[in-house]
Chains A and B, each alone.
Chain A
Amino acid sequence: QVQLQESGPGLVKPSETLSLTCTVSGGSISDYYWNWFRQPAGNGLEWIGHIYSSGRSTSYNPSLKSRVTMSLDTSKNQFSLKLNSVTAADTAVYYCARGSVYIAQLPFDYWGQGTLVTVSS
């Protein structure tokens, strides 16, 4: 059974960089799209972007593109998110999820449990 687990600091200071890692277990990180999302308290879901394991190509939400970097480490079965110059508006629960390439519609079939990141001094 594939499992995803987010990890990283729960508190980040304004103007600093938010860094999260998602560890994939029970399956290979190869041949899938690996995604990050966030959800502010009481609000809906926002897609941050994805990284494709083959070729490591990325796609980011234009609303965050200037501040986002995603990377992937196949040797550790992990992928990561960096969001720089954070403000209080970046406070949210952050999720990682797998995008299935075996279905044309690329649904997100496995999700991490989510991790709350608070931006505050």
Chain B
Amino acid sequence: DIQMTQSPSSLSASVGDRVTITCRASQSISNYLNWYQQQPGKAPKLLIYAASSVQSGVPSRFSGSGSGTDFTLTISSLQPEDFATYYCQQTYSTPRTFGGGTKVEIK
């Protein structure tokens, strides 16, 4: 199985801050990397696919980058509705695997 490691596991930030979350795969996955946002009690929501493509309807403050084993999700200016848990996930091979999540909390 491909292991996905996210860091940090949690962070505190203020509205307007720039936030960066990293994700590392245990082997190269090219750009088969997607990012999801999960609000408490809700289903995950697709934000970024293919490492850097923004899903339709997702605000432009969200961006993704990376290829191979190292990936980054950036929120350029944190908004109140962005406080949530973020997961990276690979679809390079089965079983599909997720990172452990990064909880973004209000500072």
Binding site for B on A (CB under 8 A): 35, 44-47, 49, 59, 61-63, 95, 97, 99, 103-109, 111-114
Q: Verify if B21 is at the interface (C-beta below 8 Å from A).
A: no
Asked if B46 and A107 make an inter-chain contact with CB atoms under 8 angstroms apart, the answer reads yes
Q: How far is the CA of A106 from the CA of B90 in the complex (A)?
A: 10
State whether the Cβ of B63 lies closer than 8 Å to any Cβ in chain A: no
Shortest CB distance A77–B (Å) = 19
Chain B residues bordering chain A, tally (CB within 8 A): 27
Select from chain A the residue with minimum beta-carbon distance to B97.
Answer: A47
**A107 to B97 alpha-carbon distance, docked (Å):** 12
Contact A103 B101 (CB under 8 A): no
Complex CA–CA separation, A105 to B29 (angstroms): 10
Q: Which residues of A contact B46 (CB under 8 A)?
A: 107-109
Is B7 close to A, CB under 8 A?
no
